[in-house]
């Protein structure tokens, strides 16, 4: 006897609260038949997204790739007074993780790429850097 215990996780964009959320469905049939509900706001105006594909790499491989940006003393080899250099470094490190770091990250890096001072960005976004809410994940 073969059991099917597949429980898919799908990502959605909630058009009510403007968040990206993940929903764990009890079965593929549930995901097709039931209406998705945002775990943050309870809204039902969701669009299913194409999830990113993760490539599994060894820690050694990731570190080798990232080490090109570090000086011999172990510090990032960037000009700390150059916001654009900081943005390039942040994008490279984000690419190494293979994760979607969200809209706040994109906003910060975009502002750095435009030459904005990191201190002013930090002052204008006091919530940035706080831990993400666990409400972005729901079980259906």
Q: Hey, is 113 helix, strand or coil?
A: helix
Return d(Cα 41, Cα 14) in angstroms, integer. Answer: 9
For residue 31, what are the contacts with CB-CB under 8 A and spacing of at least 6?
Answer: 8, 10, 23, 25, 140
**47-93 confidence digits (pLDDT tens):** 998 876 666 667 677 666 666 655 555 555 677 778 888 888 888 87
Query: Taking the C-alpha atoms of 51, 57, 58 and 63 in order, what is their torsion angle to the nearest 10 degrees?
Result: -100
Query: What are the E-state strand segments in the chain?
Result: 9-14, 20-24, 46-48, 137-139
This prediction's pTM: 0.44
pLDDT (mean) for 126-140 = 60
Mean of the per-residue pLDDT values of the chain = 78
Domain ranges of the chain: 9-51, 59-126
């Amino acid at each position: 006897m073969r059991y099917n215990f597949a429980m898919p996780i799908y990502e959605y964009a909630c058009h009510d609260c403007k968040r990206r959320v993940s929903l764990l469905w009890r079965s593929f049939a549930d995901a097709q038949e039931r209406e998705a509900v945002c775990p943050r706001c309870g809204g039902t105006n969701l669009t299913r997204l194409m999830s990113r594909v993760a490539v599994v790499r060894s820690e050694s491989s990731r570190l080798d790739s990232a080490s090109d940006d570090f000086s011999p003393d172990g510090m990032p080899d960037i000009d700390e007074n150059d916001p654009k250099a900081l943005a390039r470094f942040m994008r490279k490190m984000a690419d190494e993780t293979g994760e979607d770091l969200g809209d706040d990250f994109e906003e910060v890096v975009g502002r750095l790429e435009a030459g904005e001072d990191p201190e002013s960005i930090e002052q204008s976004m006091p919530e940035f850097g706080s831990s993400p809410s666990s409400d972005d994940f729901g079980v259906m």
